[in-house]
Amino acid sequence: MCSIIGYKGQLIVAPLLVDSLKRMEYRGYDSVGIATINNGKILVKKGVGKVLDVNRRLDLSNMGGHAGIGHTRWATHGSITEKNAHPHYCCTDSMAIVHNGIIENHRVLMKELIDLGHVFKSDTDSEVIAHLLERYYAEQKNIKSSMIKTCKRLKGDYAFVAALEDGTICGSRCNEPLMIGSVDTGFFISSDILGFIRYTDKAIFLENRDIVVIDSKTLQIYDPDGNPVNRSLTQVAWELAAIDKGKYSHYTLKEIHEQPFIVEKVGVQNLDKIEEFCNILRNSKTVFLTGSGTSYHCALIAKHILSNFAKIHAETMISSEFQYTLSGIDNTSVLLAFSQSGETADVLQAVNAAKRMGAKVLSIVNVPTSSLARISDSFLTIECGPEIGVAATKSFTAQLSLTYMIVDELCNGYLGFKINRQILVDALQEALAAENEIHGIAEKLRDARDIYVLGRSIHYPIALEGALKIKELSYIHAEGIAAGELKHGPLALIDVNSYVIIVNPNDTTSDNNIASAHEIKARGATIIGISNKPDEVYDIFIKIPFIKCNIIYPIIEVLPLQILAYYLSLVKNVDPDYPRNLAKSVTVR
Ligand code: M6R
């Protein structure tokens, strides 16, 4: 949601903070700010916009000091304004804080603090942390005990870092990520490894409610009662440092193009762990599958192939709804959670609920050090590298591929994923070659008001995913519909201004889809077919390569939809990497 960074050490802090914030900007990009401590004074600069723009305007990199904190915001409480941008000062400007998450009891705390004479300058829930710390620090001038008292008062999920005018940096977390990067010159404290991976691969992952204090040259971690605790140093993957756009104009386009290479290698290093997954799945009575957004669409396909081919009883539940439908989950169940980030609050809530019911938890994540991976009984990684574009693209095809691999293993190769992997990789390359043609189609759809995406059976989740990509990247209203449901209502929406995309590779669902296409065409809509087989009903045809093993088609047919959504964003003048109102990692519920 928001990104947090702090550093204390020998280096000039401001350029480090700006660089780190650029790397973590995908977490939130409404506004930016940094605070540095220079000669016993805290200086704050902040503004609305993305890191590059605000840095250009305010020259953030050019602030003195060897300790400081920084933040990029995804607004939850309070509009997107300079006054609501972080860092937030306390009354005396002697400390400043940056925060990610939601302080649920901020109104109560605010009232109490206002009654004590504190003056609030923003509309955020976060500012309350600065004033609470100030209040408790005034009592004993002891930052450790002020942190303990402050954290005990906070309700909700949070990670925050505070900077004090004496140069101390301290922080704590509760259900939001916060980690330390250890460098020869000092320490980073960050909400994401990407905040410091350019400088160090040595990380300490703080546990929930840990309190960390970095003063002069030492770092101390305490439990919520103030007892010192040891947290081990973990070595994280250096490859994460390579996050540039290469020859591409946007991360989203780069990530779309990376897909063949990712699908080629996903899972191959993890055969033992896949076997362990398979054993757990085989021994469960029911497998519940969950995820949010794109990851949920992968869960839908997982259900289809698990139940139809591996003959394992599977149910899907969207993570945000999971807590309302817990009946049937017990110690004979397995919950398989999909999440690129491994930090999605709805997913973590679903997992915790399932654990309380006695279920075993498996997860498929991109970030092996994520909260989800760490609370799972076993996890597999999709290893697609950092996905910076807010729209999930390569993580989806990687999740799908790994899922196919697992199910193929469960049904002794019946799915044909393993033996057809190279054919699939070649087909993905071929599908990417249609990019220019799809760009042309996006031009034609520039003024579309509504786009409907239809699919049946295993292609229905891809219709949902295609519609999600279009709305997220181009702000055009798009809806994924199960093709058979059309005549039960949605057909009423269709007229000469409608565009309908039919995801229709030539399989057992194909004839029914062609019949639906005729019904739509009779109402004047423009039909766009995505298929390996042309048909006269399509006004616009996007050809995908033919492959014999048609159960794998979802991994291919999503590519033209991703490319279309990407080019729709360009023709609509939208930044595809950073769609409005969204953030890559949704760590609030
Ligand atoms: O990190 P996760 O996979 O848990 O994220 C889940 C969703 O927030 C995510 O897939 C979202 O829907 C994407 N922006 C879609 O492109």
Would you place residue 181 in the very low, low, confident or very high pLDDT band (cuts 50, 70, 90)? very high
Q: Is the pLDDT assigned to residue 26 strictly greater than 90? A: no
Would you place residue 240 in the very low, low, confident or very high pLDDT band (cuts 50, 70, 90)? low
Cα separation, 362 vs 291, in Å, equals 12
Cα separation, 444 vs 427, in Å, equals 26
224 exposure class (CB count in 10 Å sphere: 0-12, 13-18, 19+): middle
Alpha carbon of 296 to ligand 1 centroid (Å)? 8
At residue 238, the pLDDT reads 66
Would you place residue 116 in the very low, low, confident or very high pLDDT band (cuts 50, 70, 90)? very high
Lowest mean pLDDT among 10-19, 235-244, 263-272: 235-244
Side chain identity at 403, as an amino acid letter?
T
Q: Identify which has the larger pLDDT, 215 or 188.
A: 188
Q: Is the pLDDT assigned to residue 226 strictly greater than 80? A: yes
The alpha carbon dihedral of 550, 555, 561, 563 has a sign of: negative
517-533 pLDDT per residue, tens: 999 999 999 999 999 99
Domains of the chain: 3-236 (3.60.20.10), 244-415 (3.40.50.10490), 434-574 (3.40.50.10490)
Is the minimum distance from the CB of 340 to ligand 1 under 6 angstroms?
A: yes
Nearest to 510 by CA among 535, 492, 493: 535
Three-class SS string for 32-69? EEEEEEECCEEEEEEEECCHHHHHHHHCHHHCCCCEEE
Is the minimum distance from the CB of 294 to ligand 1 under 6 angstroms?
A: yes
Indicate if 152 belongs to the active site: no
The residue contributing the CA closest to ligand 1 atom 9 is 293
Is the minimum distance from the CB of 391 to ligand 1 under 6 angstroms?
A: yes
Task: Among 322, 344, 372, 469, say which to mutate for ligand 1: greatest number of ligand atoms within 8 Å of CB.
Answer: 344
Task: Among 290, 295, 365, 584, say which to mutate for ligand 1: greatest number of ligand atoms within 8 Å of CB.
Answer: 295
Indicate if 2 belongs to the active site: yes
Helix (H) or strand (E) holding 397: helix 394-410
Task: Among 29, 251, 292, say which to mutate for ligand 1: greatest number of ligand atoms within 8 Å of CB.
Answer: 292
Lowest mean pLDDT among 130-134, 235-239, 304-308, 425-429: 235-239
Say if residues 214 and 168 touch (Cβ distance below 8 Å): yes
**Pairing between β-strand 211-215 and β-strand 169-174 as defined by DSSP bridges:** antiparallel
Would you place residue 235 in the very low, low, confident or very high pLDDT band (cuts 50, 70, 90)? confident
Give the position, in ligand 1's atom list, of the atom nearest the Cα of 291.
4
Looking at the DSSP assignment, which residues form a beta bridge with residue 219?
214
At residue 516, the pLDDT reads 95
Share of the chain above pLDDT 90, in %: 88
Say if residues 196 and 240 touch (Cβ distance below 8 Å): no
Q: 3-class SS at 77?
A: coil
Tokens of 366: 């991109």
At residue 241, the pLDDT reads 62
Q: 3-class SS at 20?
A: helix
Torsion angle (degrees, nearest 10) of CA 481, 482, 488, 493: 20
Q: Average pLDDT of 385-409?
A: 96
Q: Is the pLDDT assigned to residue 345 strictly greater than 90? A: yes
Side chain identity at 46, as an amino acid letter?
K
Is the minimum distance from the CB of 455 to ligand 1 under 6 angstroms?
A: no
At residue 242, the pLDDT reads 65
74-108 pLDDT per residue, tens: 888 889 999 999 999 999 999 999 999 999 999 99
Cα separation, 307 vs 99, in Å, equals 43
- Half-sphere exposure in the Cβ direction for 388 (13 Å, CA): 24
Would you place residue 28 in the very low, low, confident or very high pLDDT band (cuts 50, 70, 90)? confident
Helix (H) or strand (E) holding 279: helix 271-282
Q: Is the pLDDT assigned to residue 239 strictly greater than 70? A: no
